[in-house]
A = this chain, B = another copy of it.
Amino acid sequence: MSLTAPLREEDVVAAIRAIVERTDASKVLLGIGDDAAVWQPSRSNRSVITTDMLVEDVHFTRATIPVRDIGWRAMAANCSDVAAMGARPVLATVGLALPPSWHLEEIEELYRGMAACADASRLVIAGGDLSRAPVATISITVIGEVRPSNLKTRSGGRPGDVIAVTGKLGASRAGLDLLGGRASLDDALAKEALAAHRTPVPRMREGQWFGASSNVHAMMDCSDGLSTDLARLCDASRCGAIVEEVPVAESARAMAGQCGEDSARYALAGGEDYELLVTIAPRAFNHLWRRYHARFGRPLYRVGVLQADESVVMRNDGGVEALQRSGWDHFA
């Protein structure tokens, strides 16, 4: 299609349909093209739903990351929320509001990114909405399913629980700072940082695995920075936390060093890592750690412990200090 021809809704829908239609979408009985999409929920499961809006030049910019990666990230953020409930994703709807400056080729690239992440997370894009707007906005809703006994929330944490995360933190922030020209990184670290920022991998299998363990008391994803997300988990669980160590990604450590910042604080404030934050019964932690390592070939990172006192503090050389919410406030 010519870049200059005006787009018709049908053309865009047809292009999108060609990208997202899958042959194995057996659970989706009716997809794109009617008033609503239809699917068959599993009996005896609970359904979960999450929604996320991304706005151009607020949450992403076409100048710094490829449009396909914008699509991947948008879908990954929602999948991560589903994983954080212990659930598996089933289907997604995508609302797109786009200015005329977006060509059909870019819309297709965006959908290819979303579809790639949806495939990797084993969900189907089942419908959506398309509209003109002065600013590009992507609104994704993902539905998932979970056995009632596997459902994890952020409110289940108990004093004494070990706090852990599924990966080192701060790499996505390092990627953002690299793209923003704040400092440079050598090739290997730049690659780590850019991949973390552009194509974060939501911890789908890990989330379902934690869901199946009764020793995992609370779970959420680390999307707004550990300092902010841990405070939210503590609020919901009506307890506090002592942070003892922060697993910092190599690229984040290097970027923090170049910027003259403390690397732990840098990682604590770094959002969009999409690692899972879990709290685990203390006597089960070592056993769970070993099983996790055997299953996923990666370590689980111990961060600290929940405490009855509702303060959230970080242990430092001299004692403890209050941990500020240094991450992302969606409305600030």
Question: A residues touching B (Cβ–Cβ < 8 Å)?
Answer: 6-9, 12, 29-30, 33-41, 43-55, 57-59, 80-82, 84-85, 87, 91, 93-97, 126-135, 137, 139, 141, 143-144, 146, 151, 153-155, 220-221, 236, 329-332
Contact = CB atoms under 8 A, between A and B. Distances in A.
A128 to B, nearest CB: 6
Given A131-B55, A132-B331, A37 B30 contact: no
Contact of A53 (B44, B59, B137, B331): B137
B127 A51 contact: yes
15 contacts: A8-B332, A9-B330, A29-B46, A35-B82, A37-B49, A38-B47, A39-B48, A43-B44, A50-B93, A51-B94, A129-B139, A131-B331, A132-B331, A134-B135, A135-B137
Given A221-B35, A331-B7, A51 B137 contact: no
Given A129-B53, A131-B330, A141 B93 contact: yes
A34 B85 contact: yes
A38 B151 CA distance: 9
Q: Which 7 A-B pairs have the closest CB atoms?
A: A139-B139, A36-B50, A41-B41, A9-B331, A55-B133, A36-B48, A35-B81
A152 to B, nearest CB: 9
Contacts of A132: 55, 58, 330-332
A41 to B, nearest CB: 4
Nearest to A100: B331
Which of A39, A52, A127, A129 has the most chain B CB within a 10 Å cutoff? Answer: A129
Nearest to A80: B35
A310 B82 CA distance: 44
A329 B81 contact: no
Nearest to A33: B236
Contacts of A52: 95, 129
Given A55-B132, A137-B97, A220 B34 contact: yes
Contact of A35 (B36, B55, B85): B85
Nearest to A13: B331
B85 A131 contact: no
A133 B131 contact: no
A43 B41 CA distance: 8
A131 to B, nearest CB: 5
Contacts of A34: 85, 153-155, 220, 236
A325 to B, nearest CB: 10
Nearest to A143: B49
B51 A139 contact: yes
Nearest to A144: B36
A135 B221 CA distance: 28
